[in-house]
Amino acid sequence: MPSLGTWSRWRRRVAARLVHAAWRRVQRAGVVTAETAAGRRFAAFGPGSLVAFPTGTVFGERWIEIGDGTMLGEQVSVCAGMMPGHDLGSESVLRIGDRCVIGRGSHIVAHHSIDIGDDVYTGPYVYITDQNHSYADPELPIGRQWPVNAAVSIGAGTWLGTGVIVLPGAVIGRNVVVAAGSVVRGEIGDRCVVAGVPARVIKDFNPQTGWSRPAAGSLRADAAFRGTLAGDPALAEDPALAEDPGLAGDPALAELLLGRAPSENLTVVAVPGEGLARPLPGEGLARPLPGEGLAAPLPGPVLAAPLRGEALAGDSVLADRDS
């Protein structure tokens, strides 16, 4: 005769199978399609498309269009407006093309205009919005200031990796790969790979040479979306950027995006006897060696000393570290 423990394990296994089977049936029953009442609430819901169950937050369907053969994964939120019942006028504000796949847990929040082209795929937990908080009044809480809208466009055939954030005003070209965790703003051209915060071009396609990496720190590395900067002769003379207005009206943002990575910005000087790396004026702060504080920038036009070979002879700390 089976023991009490054996019966208990058997009951748990049976209960687990029943619960999982019931949940699968609930998921199938809860799928939103063009034939369901929930699907008919959308401005357009193409044949063969579905929204998986359980859904995320969904409202403003009257201003949302979904193309043919598109799939929105579980817990995907698609919203139009600030709240249910918000009247956005006569035109749709969120348009998702044909054969798209929106990954689990993603959020697409439209107030003004979001256009997602055909065959766009995203990983899970992607966030796309065309509205951002305003902070024009420094005395008023940010949440009480009127938000600012800027249209978003994502070109056909593009892939957005896990956790990508697409900010208001972003224009992403066709067949673009956006690496996981990137934050996209501004314009990105066709057929390139972008990564980082903010996202920058790390690889692009040339019909003659194929896929290649732009030279480190070169303007070509970011020409696809940064454009020209007013008053900068170096940019003005670059034919690749001549017709791209880009960030001409936003020098502060342009300075942020045009700057090289922190490791490229520093001109490091070995200071004999101190074991410190000191930056030249205007080049940012260098990291000290372990156990040391930050040294003051060296005055005047000092040239960086080589960190290898004979230059290390006078500094035992640097020499030991470099060996």
Sequence-distant (6+) residues with CB within 8 A of 93 are 60, 63, 64, 80, 81, 110, 111, 112, 113, 114, 130
C-alpha 46/C-alpha 144 separation (Å) is 38
CA 59 to chain centre: 24
CA 255 to chain centre: 19
DSSP 178: E
Catalytic residue, candidates 86, 111, 112, 133: 133
C-alpha 99/C-alpha 171 separation (Å) is 20
Nearest to 203 by CA among 218, 187, 181: 218
Kind of pairing, strands 268-271 and 276-279?
A: antiparallel
CA distances from 275 to 35, 50, 55, 321 (A): 72, 63, 58, 9
The yes-or-no answer on residue 111 being catalytic is no
Place of tokens 């001409």: 248
Nearest to 164 by CA among 127, 213, 219: 127
- Show the tokens assigned to 236: 């003005």
- Show the tokens assigned to 103: 């990954």
Residue 198: how many CA atoms within 13 Å on its side-chain side? 18
On the 0-12 / 13-18 / 19+ scale of CB atoms within 10 A, 301 is exposed
DSSP 62: G
**CB-CB contact of 287 with 293 (8 Å):** no
- Catalytically annotated residues: 133
